[in-house]
Amino acid sequence: MGMFVLSNILPSIFTLIRPFLKWFLHRFTRLCELQRICYGCSRGAPRNKQLEVSLNLSKTPSIKNMIREFDEFVEYCDDKEFDLLPARGIAAIMYAKKIKPKIHPDFPKLLGKSIQQIWGYRRLLHVVERLREEQYDTENGRHEQKLLELWNLLMPDIPLSARVTKQWQDIGFQGDDPKTDFRGMGILGLDNLLYFVKEYNTAARHVLLHSMHPVYGYTFAIVGINLTSMAYKLLKSGRARTHFYNVTTGPCTLEDFHKFYCYLFFEFDKFWMECEPRNIMEFPIIHQTFEESIIGSLNNDSTTFKTNFVVEEI
């Protein structure tokens, strides 16, 4: 009963008193809510998350229109077009809130950085979604080249005997042709794996060696694709905003998403080995426990995941 009150009644009460609270604070501080957030909150997740809430709850028609237009705009805009977004947002908000730049010179800079990060994250969602929807195609030379590069980087001293071969199982695919394993996550799954083995080759081969452990072994590539799914869900749900807002001072990019994935893979491997599972059948519960620990970390607005991997002797 107590939890029901906390989760259902209190938000309704807050919604009712919010306008009065805003009015009082505005009268007391002579600052609008957006200004109070920009001046009072640390940069990154603490500031951006509160600004998002404030903007999304705004009843000002011009701000509501701005949010809708920006959300549509970032789906297909290029880098140069995206760079114009903060200035447009600053102008729209300053005008709507009647804020004078000469009196509040710091506000536009702080607001612009947050606009850049908030809609950079929303833009990244579209980029990642398009890669996830792109299915692996054996007739696509670019896809085939990436797959072969993955093998060569993980197994540089062992050539493939054929394009379709049981050798793929040595790096953790299920069958003779890896294309079927990418169905759920599309090219995103392949791109994540390839980024890991290209940019952090020592760490990736260390993880691969762990996956071949005679007792605690697991399917490297399949687990990697499962972790792509985890990274994608965390991104889409908005939970990953904490990390992405803190990891960069500008808009997050696809490379930031790849690095986020690399962190998850490296940390999952450590977690798996520490759990000392009896067999691969324990994967679902260990995977779930790991995901819950990541979510727990992301609930702290100061969290940033670093890819400073330390590879210890096995």
pLDDT surpassing 80 at residue 37? yes
DSSP 196-260: HHHHTHHHHHHHHHHHT-TTT---HHHHHHHHHHHHHHHHHHSTTHHHHHHH-SS---HHHHHHH
Helix axes 85-96, 106-133, angle to 10 degrees: 130
pLDDT bracket for residue 310 (50, 70, 90): confident
The answer to whether 303 and 49 have CB atoms below 8 angstroms apart is: no
Select from 183, 199, 172 the least CA-distant residue to 263: 199
Tokens of 156: 């540089």
* pLDDT given at position 311: 80
Query: 258-284, pLDDT tens digit by residue?
Result: 999 999 999 999 999 999 999 889 999
Mean pLDDT, residues 124-143: 98
CA gap 28, 128 in Å, rounded: 44
- Contact, 108 vs 101, CB < 8 A? yes
What pLDDT is attached to residue 212? 95
Report which of residues 183 and 48 the model is more confident about.
48
Q: What is the pLDDT of residues 144-164, one digit of tens each?
A: 999 999 999 999 999 999 999
> Which tokens go with 235?
């991104």
pLDDT of residue 195: 98
Q: Is 300 a residue whose pLDDT tops 90?
A: yes
The predicted-structure confidence for 220-250, as pLDDT tens digits, reads as follows 999 999 999 999 999 999 999 999 999 999 9
Nearest partner of 246 among 292, 306, 195, 293, judged by Cα: 306
User: By the 8 A CB rule, do 227 and 272 touch?
Assistant: no
Q: What is the mean pLDDT of residues 126-142?
A: 97
Contact 188, 232 (CB under 8 A): yes
Q: What pLDDT sits at residue 20?
A: 46
pLDDT tens-digit readout, 52-111:
999 999 999 999 999 999 999 999 999 999 999 999 999 999 999 999 999 999 999 999
The 8-class DSSP code of residue 311 comes to: P
Q: pLDDT above 70 covers what percent of the chain? A: 89
Assigned token pair, 144: 């085939």
User: Above 70 in pLDDT, residue 141?
Assistant: yes
The pLDDT, as a whole number, for residue 24 is 40
Phi then psi for 196, rounded to 5 degrees? -60, -50
Q: Are 295 and 239 in contact (CB under 8 A)?
A: yes
Give residue for tokens 């998350």: 49
Q: How many CA atoms lie within 13 A of 256 on its CB side?
A: 24
- Report the percent of the chain where pLDDT is more than 90: 86
Round to the nearest angstrom and report the end-to-end CA distance of the chain: 51
The stretch 204-213 carries a mean pLDDT of 96
Does the pLDDT at position 12 exceed 80? Answer: no
Residues in the chain: 314
Q: Quick one: pLDDT at residue 16?
A: 53
